[in-house]
Amino acid sequence: MKKRNDYLDLIVYQIYPRSFYDSNGDGIGDLNGIKQKIPYLKDLGVNAVWICPCYKSPNYDNGYDIADYRDIMDEFGTLDDWKTLAKELHANGIKIIMDLVVNHTSSEHYWFKEARKAKDNPYHDYYIWADKPLTDWTACFGGSAWEYNPATDEYYLHSFAVQQPDLNWENPKVRQECCDIVDFWADLGVDGFRCDVLDFISKDFANNKMNNGPRLHEYIKQLFGREKVKRLFTVGECQSDTESICSICGKDRNELKSVFQFEHIGLGRSDKYTPAPYSASQIKNVLVKWQNFTAEHDLLYILFTDNHDQPYFISRLGNDKELRYECATAYAGMFYLLKGIPFIYQGQEFGSANSRYEDINCFNDVETVNYYHENFGKKPQAKLIDEINYGSRDNTRRPLAWTKEKPAYGFTGATPWLKMPSRADEINLETDKSAYRSIIGFYKKILALRKSSDAVKYGTFKDLTSSDDCFVYERVNDGEKIIIAVNFEKANDLKLPPDLTEKNFELLLCNYDQTDGFSPAFAPYEIRVYRNR
């Protein structure tokens, strides 16, 4: 048998700390809040957490603008709280993955405060300066990517917000600083890093591109290829076409262990704020393509539907209305029984869905707020409000609704830092947990199956789908065969493999009550999981 990749045992839960759980009554989630919810994470069945940035930050981009890489944001607690959290997570068999944001710092980082003072300041060359904007790049959060700095009469580059100046990775001192940051957290016992916009660290000025520049591989190798940190699990937010994935994650590369692949996230919209027609079979096609590709090249694939940068997947590419339970459970099984590492975003496990707010003051995200102001008065107001409700990152950043109890649904005893999800009355953990058809109950079964089945964790993948309205696949390891059959939105007779009979298989899981688990008739978003006898 082929040697197994141990990282395939991971089941990662992504935490947006500001919105997870408030332990000290200030309306903001914190590290002790995460600690208090360790039993919840264990019970769900995850064995790793990725914590979005919790370092000191003025929060223009909620922590993705770091002012001190070696300390914790005041609202979240202290470094000692972090150490206690890490210890307790580890004691409970849960690994800890930190967010590494080294393309840019906060404009309030000491380096930048110094750098902007004078051209001969020792930190000046830590950032990217020019007498005039060198390119016509638009920053990812709107406006020019170049900002004027009066003290030096120059412009600095910021690929994201004005308050997020890009580091100059051409400077060997910057590279050393970033290695030291990685080592600092490695010494404190982190198990891995999710690397924010890592392909941006090498710019491609020659081809007028902000990312994927000529020195990218050299930089990543320096960061993670070193003996001391080779053990870490690293996953990059990077350009992820087939070629880049191989060149960054190939076994012989000594760079990253994996990268997120975003092709399915781009479906069903013409831009971030505008929906476009899609069909669930497109999602299936993307998944099949990447299952086959990663198998062929022996790469680790990340299985995910949601994160803090996207509206909820079931709201955008599924059904969050009358079929919310069916869709959430079908998609969970469809994704998390594939080959790869599951990443579950907080709230997804109980079917959280997008919110609806009419007032821009109910939004916080710098990207949304900038977009709103840039477009205000330029398009009908109702359209603009629809757009931000559809595409805002705040959809998944609203505090978690743990209970049914108004006004803050168990997230905090105070006023939450951002309005709770607008559907929290209907969608909260307490209600879901006690429902006969519980989404989290189904998630637990899927994760338990993943853990107990070598076919699901390590087995081969084969697509058995014969039509566009469903996804049928098998996972095989030694003698064990698991078949997953997912019907999409309309009731449908599926063409199942001919040997899929009661004699040969048992039905392990289904999101509908079954009388005959082998009938070809599938209800909307019905999923069935079988194992050979």
Please list the active-site residues: 196, 237
Give how far Cα 197 sits from Cα of 157, 320, 334, 428, 479, Å.
15, 30, 27, 32, 41
In angstroms, the CA 266 to CA 275 distance is: 10
- Exposed e or buried b per residue across 257-296, where buried means at least 16 C-beta atoms within 10 angstroms of its C-beta: bbbbbbebbebbbeebbeeeeeebebbbbbbbebbeebee
Residue spans of alpha helices (H) in 92-234: 110-115, 172-187, 216-224
Closest approach of ligand NOJ to the CB of residue 197, in Å: 5
Closest approach of ligand NOJ to the CB of residue 63, in Å: 9
Residue spans of alpha helices (H) in 197-355: 216-224, 242-249, 280-296, 313-317, 324-336
Helix (H) or strand (E) holding 470: strand 470-477
How many other C-beta atoms are found inside a 10 Å radius of the C-beta of residue 501?
A: 11
Q: CB nearer to ligand NOJ: give 266 or 413.
A: 266
480 beta partners:
477
At a CB cut-off of 8 Å and minimum separation 6, what does 101 contact?
53, 64, 66, 196, 197
Single-letter residue type at 218: E
Closest approach of ligand NOJ to the CB of residue 308, in Å: 6
Q: CB nearer to ligand NOJ: give 101 or 494.
A: 101
Closest approach of ligand NOJ to the CB of residue 466, in Å: 38
Nearest residue to ligand NOJ, by Cβ distance, number only: 64
Sign of CA dihedral 380, 383, 387, 388: positive
Between helix 381-391 and helix 366-375 the angle, nearest 10°, is 160
- 14 closest CA partner among 447, 305, 265: 305
Closest approach of ligand NOJ to the CB of residue 249, in Å: 19
Q: CB nearer to ligand NOJ: give 352 or 487.
A: 352
In angstroms, the CA 228 to CA 219 distance is: 16
Place of tokens 């079988």: 530
Q: CB nearer to ligand NOJ: give 66 or 186.
A: 66
Q: CB nearer to ligand NOJ: give 106 or 329.
A: 106
Strands 341-345 and 492-493: unpaired
CB 458 within 8 A of CB 8: yes
CB 438 within 8 A of CB 453: no
Closest approach of ligand NOJ to the CB of residue 64, in Å: 3
Interface residues with ligand NOJ (CB under 6 A) are 61, 64, 101, 160, 196-197, 237, 308-309
Q: CB nearer to ligand NOJ: give 309 or 463.
A: 309
Q: CB nearer to ligand NOJ: give 18 or 481.
A: 18
Closest approach of ligand NOJ to the CB of residue 220, in Å: 17
Q: CB nearer to ligand NOJ: give 310 or 431.
A: 310
Closest approach of ligand NOJ to the CB of residue 238, in Å: 11
